[in-house]
């Protein structure tokens, strides 16, 4: 039985929700974001849509990816028929329905839920659930989503859709601020040596 992940200290108080492909993305920024999570600098979370997407993964990768996803706390989004798992979703309120509809129409203007690709609905589920739970950003490589970041931010109090590189830049700034705070107030204790701000900003 897979145990739930242990709580993270989250030294910077940053909370990012990650797209499914970020679980094993090999680019430097994604690798560093995962390491920042593993070393308690940031919080990475997943939505319930992640394991719905992983159900379609090739058999040889399914076990590896679901084990990786289990390392991140899961936030249950409002139930969406044919896309949500009954034991990993919540009954949505009118506010949830309105949010989901606005996210979907912003990400995919003119698309019809009844005929669009499943991935469109699940991308909207990811973003809407991340907004619901107060994340700072949704991290993805998908250009069609990244292109809508400014529109989503204008509608949802600054919530962003960021690439791993953009999320890492935010993390680098937060690490720098934390180090300066602890320098000025040494009674807080000490911070882990890794990472240096220079290491993060070099990516």
State the pLDDT confidence band at 8, using cuts at 50, 70 and 90.
low
Domain boundaries, the chain: 15-201
13, burial (CB in 10 Å: exposed 0-12, middle 13-18, buried 19+)? exposed
pLDDT in tens, 77-130: 998 888 887 788 888 899 999 999 999 999 999 999 889 999 999 999 999 999
Query: What is the CATH code of the structural domain delimited by 15-201?
Result: 3.40.50.1010
Structure tokens at 100: 């989901």
State the pLDDT confidence band at 202, using cuts at 50, 70 and 90.
confident
Average pLDDT on 39-49 reads 96
**Rounded distance between C-alpha atoms, residue 10 and residue 35, angstroms:** 12
Residue 4, pLDDT > 60, answer no
158: left (phi over 0), alpha (psi -120 to 50) or beta: left
State the pLDDT confidence band at 3, using cuts at 50, 70 and 90.
very low
**Rounded distance between C-alpha atoms, residue 155 and residue 99, angstroms:** 10
pLDDT in tens, 139-184: 999 999 999 999 999 999 999 999 999 999 999 999 999 999 999 9
């Amino acid at each position: 039985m897979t145990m739930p992940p242990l709580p993270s200290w989250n030294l910077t108080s940053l909370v990012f929700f990650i797209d499914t492909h970020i679980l094993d993305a090999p680019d430097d920024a994604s690798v560093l974001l995962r390491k920042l999570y593993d070393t308690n600098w940031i919080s990475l979370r997943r939505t319930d849509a992640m394991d719905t997407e992983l159900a379609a993964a090739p058999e040889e990768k399914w076990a590896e990816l679901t084990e990786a996803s289990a390392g991140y706390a899961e936030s249950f989004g409002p139930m969406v028929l044919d896309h949500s798992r009954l034991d990993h979703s919540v009954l949505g309120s009118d506010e949830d329905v309105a949010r989901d509809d606005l996210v979907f129409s912003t990400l995919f203007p003119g698309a019809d839920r009844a005929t669009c690709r499943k991935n469109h609905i699940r991308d909207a589920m990811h973003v809407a659930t991340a907004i619901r739970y107060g994340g700072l950003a949704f991290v993805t490589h998908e250009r069609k989503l990244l292109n809508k970041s400014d529109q989503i931010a204008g509608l949802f109090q600054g919530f962003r859709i960021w690439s791993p590189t953009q999320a890492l830049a935010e993390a680098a700034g937060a690490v720098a601020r934390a180090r300066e705070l602890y320098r000025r107030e040494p009674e807080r204790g000490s911070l882990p040596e890794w990472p240096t701000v220079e290491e993060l900003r070099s990516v």
